[in-house]
Amino acid sequence: MRVAFYAPLKPPDHPTPSGDRRMACLLFQALRRGGHEVFLASRLRSRDPAGDRLRQARLADLGQRLAARLLRRYGRNDARPDAWLTYHLYYKAPDWIGPHVAAALHIPYIAIEASHAPKRAGGPWDLSHRAVEHAVSEAARVVCLNPNDRACLEPLAAGRIEVLPPFLDPTPYRPSPGARAALATRHGLPADAPWLLAVGMMRPGDKLASYRQLAEALQRLAHRPWRLIIVGDGPAAAEVRAAFAPLAGRVAWLGALEEAELARVYAAADLLVWPAVREAFGMALLEAQAAGLPVVAGNTDGVPAVVSHGETGLLTPPGDSTAFAATVARLLDDPAAREAMGQAARDRVLRHHSLDAAARQLDRILTEAKCRSSA
């Protein structure tokens, strides 16, 4: 099937890395693995961060003109898509293109990771909010990566909602027996002490809040012989380092790493620790588990969709640094539990969160939507 793909927040070939770009790329991979021909329909970024009504109106007009241009191009049989798939639309980044194109071509429109915020009606983002409502209402299928999005989508798309577990390609995250010794030598880490790991972009907002909560929690465990490895970089790097200043000498700063090198760090560590403030689901949590690393994370938003509490890790009440510290201490004291959870984590990723599993489900969703639109 020939699939037109669009990500209004950030296209998959955007130069700035992020979890959103990563998932867009993974969706591309999964569709291709399922045997589909997928292409990027547009690079228009429709995000309005400030609630600027004039900007929204201009983006809406531009979207309509781009849709008309695409329809002229798709008039040729060899260019016509069989389905349109839009990834991550919400009130700040609606889809001004896909619903119009899909309706004109009579092909299924599929929305992945759409969110609906009724409280935005009538406010500064009203125009964009109504565009999301229209797209979700017209969609042949609405696919949730975060199950928490489902409740607000149900009134608009009852009977058309699917849940697709967040996924990745587990191949790079195989256990690597020599990784720990190499990392210990390179960064002067004591090989006999437990290694905690935190992975996250350093930017203002929720990521910075997660780092600050982690620093607060680990200060409660300063009497223990752990070391913390931090992987990440970004505009809030100075603020992150300031948060961990009381733990100077206990933290190894590795900066941003490419996937292959990051996979070796996961394989070398003993426990991933991340408070996950307002985390949609957390790709780092999934990556860690794919490498056989258990997780301690905040029980927030979509995190329970990727971390099975008591099986692949432990979840703690949001914002409770005391509980977070106690949970980390519990697993520091129980190496056997860490090992069992790590093995269960990798097994669970391979069964439910792999690229192959996602390819099969997306293929089924596309096939069913196509059949229904042709009926």
Q: Are residues 157 and 290 in the same domain?
A: no
Q: Are residues 283 and 345 in the same domain?
A: yes
Q: What is the mean pLDDT of residues 151-173?
A: 94
Note the pLDDT tens digit of each residue in 288-319: 999 999 999 999 988 999 999 999 999 999 99
Q: Which residues contact 3 (CB under 8 A, 6 or more apart)?
A: 31, 36, 37, 38, 39, 81, 82, 83, 84, 85, 366
Note the pLDDT tens digit of each residue in 1-33: 999 999 999 999 998 888 889 999 999 999 999
Domain count, the chain: 2
How many whole angstroms separate alpha carbon 102 and alpha carbon 34? 22
- 127 sits in the region (left: phi over 0; alpha: psi -120 to 50; else beta) called alpha
Q: Are residues 274 and 358 in the same domain?
A: no
Q: How many CB atoms lie within 10 A of CB 259?
A: 12
Cβ burial, residue 141 (10 Å; 0-12/13-18/19+): buried
Do 133 and 156 form a contact (C-beta atoms < 8 A)?
yes
Q: Are residues 359 and 345 in the same domain?
A: no
Q: Are residues 13 and 38 in the same domain?
A: yes
Residue 172, both tokens: 């790079």
Q: Are residues 156 and 192 in the same domain?
A: no
pLDDT value of residue 175: 80
SS3 of 75-135: CCCCCCCCEEEEECCECCECCCCHHHHHHHHCCCEEEECCCCCHHHCCCCCHHHHHHHHHH
Cα(first)–Cα(last) distance of the chain, in Å?
17
Q: Are residues 197 and 343 in the same domain?
A: yes
Q: Which residues contact 8 (CB under 8 A, 6 or more apart)?
A: 44, 45, 46, 47, 86, 88, 89, 93, 94, 95, 96
Q: What is the mean pLDDT of the chain?
A: 95
Q: What is the mean pLDDT of residues 145-167?
A: 93
Confidence band of 358 (pLDDT split at 50, 70, 90) = very high
Q: Are residues 332 and 369 in the same domain?
A: no
What phi and psi values does residue 196 have, to the nearest 5 degrees? -95, 150
pTM > 0.75: yes or no: yes
Q: Are residues 103 and 27 in the same domain?
A: yes
Note the pLDDT tens digit of each residue in 62-97: 999 999 999 999 987 778 999 999 999 999 999 999
Does residue 176 carry a pLDDT above 90?
no
Do 176 and 264 form a contact (C-beta atoms < 8 A)?
yes
pLDDT value of residue 375: 58
Q: What is the mean pLDDT of residues 201-225?
A: 96
Do 149 and 115 form a contact (C-beta atoms < 8 A)?
yes
CATH code assigned at 336? 3.40.50.2000
How many whole angstroms separate alpha carbon 231 and alpha carbon 244? 14
Do 84 and 41 form a contact (C-beta atoms < 8 A)?
yes
Q: Are residues 209 and 301 in the same domain?
A: yes
Domain that holds residue 151: 2-167+354-374
Whole-Å CA distances, 135 to 10, 309, 326: 18, 35, 45
| Vertex 369: Cα angle to 366 and 374 (nearest 5) | 120
Confidence band of 374 (pLDDT split at 50, 70, 90) = low
pLDDT value of residue 65: 97
Q: Are residues 48 and 119 in the same domain?
A: yes
Share above pLDDT 70 across residues of the chain, in percent, rounded to a whole number: 99
Does residue 352 carry a pLDDT above 80?
yes
**141: nearest Cα among 360, 369, 358:** 369
Q: Are residues 93 and 214 in the same domain?
A: no
Note the pLDDT tens digit of each residue in 114-148: 999 999 999 999 999 999 999 999 999 999 998 88
